[in-house]
Amino acid sequence: MPLLAKQKQFMKVMGCSRMTEKIIELDNISVTFKQKDQTIEAVKNVSLDINKGDVYGIVGYSGAGKSTLVRVINLLQKPSSGKAVINGDVFYENIDGHEKIIEINKLRKKRRKIGMIFQHFNLLNEQTVVQNVAFALKHSSLKEKEITKKSLDLLKLVGLEERANAYPSQLSGGQQQRVAIARALANDPEILISDEGTSALDPKNTIQILDLLKRLNNELGLTVVLITHEMEAVKRIADRVAVMENGEIIETGNLLDIFVHAKHKLTREFVGTESGSAKALATLKAAKLVQLDSDQECIQLTYIGSSVSESLIVKLYKDFDIIASIIYGNIEILQETPVGALFVIVKGSAENREKAITFLKEQDIIVTKVEAGEIFNG
């Protein structure tokens, strides 16, 4: 690939070409639930900025506080402290105990600009598909005919115009979620929140819904907040990622950064590098290579767009007198770009190994040393 194209691809994966106008600003948000004698800190001092036009993934296991946090965005959940600014409007502010909340009528209007979809679709089963979409427009100034037309246009946008008169129970899960998306778009929102929107779907429907969200993000400039426990969903469409654990955000970054430079074990678990390392280490053990010789080390090579070719391995041998043995390899597609990880044992003098690693880095390959301790303890 020509260098410029490669750089552009890299920039895209790194999220560098995005606009940087903030649409969601959460500053030091905490949410505490008090139940009889119990206090649950569901969200703890979370600060998060989401840019206009981004697909922002928030991942974490069940109970991490993701749903509570996103409910703050449309103020369905009032925080206990902090500040929430949505599209320039201060929705909530509590500084030194002085609470300021957006006026309710203004909030109702603003909420219409934040669409939401859920795991179980939440459709009205006695209403047809088109009526379900039209329902979201009942407070609008549009006449009935206009409402029907707009609802049908939205169904067309999500590829369901032919099922307009069907009932939800006559549709597959993926189709029902499309109806929910059409309904969420009825008031021309600027933000669409998907709270586990693909968690009840099979893998094929999951991919279709994610691709639809990405298309809406591209075509309408819609900001998408993707709450999920499935990193695969985030990997497929997110530009940026936040990882939540016990009410806190433990790591944020663009997709590639999170993928390549994850700092926390939980993040590595989510992105699968933890399992990649585990497989590499298992291979080492199986090959009875756990005890590496003093002139050997295990390295992880991560590369974007292109691949680590055989000629590169030959070059390591010819130019640096290094024998490189590939023990495990994996390729992920992130934002339509292949990102590969290879675990390699390199054998040669310490000086030559360093030279070879410098050479690999010069080829835009990210080199991470797999520490001996990891191998022995793995």
Would you tell me which residues interact with ligand ATP (CB under 6 A)?
33, 35, 40, 42, 60, 62-68, 196
**Exposed, middle or buried: residue 279 (CB in 10 Å: 0-12, 13-18, 19+)?**
middle
Closest approach of ligand ATP to the CB of residue 31, in Å: 8
Under a CB-based contact definition with an 8 Å cutoff, are residues 223 and 53 in contact? Answer: yes
Closer to ligand ATP by CB, 75 or 367: give it: 75
Under a CB-based contact definition with an 8 Å cutoff, are residues 67 and 227 in contact? Answer: yes
Under a CB-based contact definition with an 8 Å cutoff, are residues 282 and 329 in contact? Answer: no
**Exposed, middle or buried: residue 31 (CB in 10 Å: 0-12, 13-18, 19+)?**
buried
Strand order in the sheet with 323-334: 323-334, 337-347, 296-304, 366-370
Closer to ligand ATP by CB, 66 or 111: give it: 66
Closer to ligand ATP by CB, 67 or 208: give it: 67
Under a CB-based contact definition with an 8 Å cutoff, are residues 194 and 224 in contact? Answer: yes
Closer to ligand ATP by CB, 41 or 161: give it: 41
Closer to ligand ATP by CB, 232 or 321: give it: 232
Under a CB-based contact definition with an 8 Å cutoff, are residues 311 and 331 in contact? Answer: no
Closest approach of ligand ATP to the CB of residue 269, in Å: 16
Phi and psi torsions of 89, nearest 5°: -95, 130
Closest approach of ligand ATP to the CB of residue 246, in Å: 9
Residue the block writes with tokens 């992105």: 271
> What totals of helices (H) and strands (E) does the chain contain, helices first?
14, 15
E-state strands within 160-211: 191-195
Closer to ligand ATP by CB, 66 or 214: give it: 66
Closest approach of ligand ATP to the CB of residue 197, in Å: 12
Closer to ligand ATP by CB, 174 or 197: give it: 197
Name residue 84's beta-bridge partners.
26, 92
Closest approach of ligand ATP to the CB of residue 63, in Å: 4
Closest approach of ligand ATP to the CB of residue 68, in Å: 3
Closest approach of ligand ATP to the CB of residue 267, in Å: 15
Under a CB-based contact definition with an 8 Å cutoff, are residues 252 and 46 in contact? Answer: no
